[in-house]
Amino acid sequence: MFLRTESFKEFTRFYPVVTGIVVIHIVLYLASVLPVFPKYMVIDWLGGVNLYILQGEFWRLVTAIFVHNGFAHMLFNSFSLVLFGPGLERMFGKWRFIGIYLASGIIANIATLLLKPPYYAHVGSSGAIFGLFGVYIAMIVFRRELMSRQNSQIILTIAAIAFIMTFLQPNINVTGHLFGFFGGFVIGSIVLGRGKELTQSIRTISSRAARSTTSGGSLTPQGIIFIILAILAVIGLLSR
C-alpha cells in the first residue's frame, strides 16, 4: 500500500491526481522564485491570509493548499503526498481522492480562519496531508479488515509521530493539522461505509499489498525502511 515499486512513467499513469498536485506545487514554487513575477507575489495572491479571506477573497481557502514558503517546505510536503497519497487514490478513485484531499485542506483552512487572529497567514498542504492520515485511521478504526496488520502499524506509527511533532515544533499551524485530520477522519468514515464496489477494491488492493510486503504479522525490512523515510518526511513537513 505504501511502498512504491513503479517506474516514474507507471507512477504518473497509476496516480494522476497525486502527480498533478505535485506538479502544481512545483509550478507555483517556481513562479514564486523565478524573476517572472515580483518577489512573494504568488504567495501574496494565493496564500491563506485570514484578513483577506474575511474581506471576501474566499479562493484563498483552496489556493493556500498548493502554495509553499520555500523549497524545503514544498519538497517535503510533496514527498509526504507521494508516500501517503497513492494508496488512497488507487482505493477511492481519482474523483473521490480529489474530494477528500481538497475537503480536508479546506476544513483545516476554515478552522484556521475561525480560530486564529485576522492577521494570521499560512500556506502549505499540511492540513490536507493530515486529512489523509485521518482517512487511514478511519479505515483502521471502522474497517480494520481492509488494511493489513503491517500497514496499520506503519500508519499508526507515522500518525503518532506527526501529532507529537505538531505540538513540539515552533511556528506550526496546530489548528490546521488537527482539523485537517478530523476532516479526513469524518469524510473517510462516511466514504468507507458506502458502496460494495469500493469495499471490494480496497480489499483487493490491501490483500495484494500484504502479500507483496509481508509473509507474517511483523514489519519487514521494507516496512522499516518506509517508516524511516516517512519519519523524515514528517520531520520535513513540520519543519520551518
Catalytic machinery residues = 126, 177
Neighbours of 127 (CB within 10 A): 30
Alpha carbons 174 and 112: distance in angstroms, whole number: 9
- One DSSP character per residue, 16-39 reads HHHHHHHHHHHHHHHHHHSTTS-T
Neighbours of 84 (CB within 10 A): 24
CB 89 within 8 A of CB 17: yes
Residue in the structure block whose three cell numbers are 499508526: 156
Encoded amino acid at 173, one letter: N
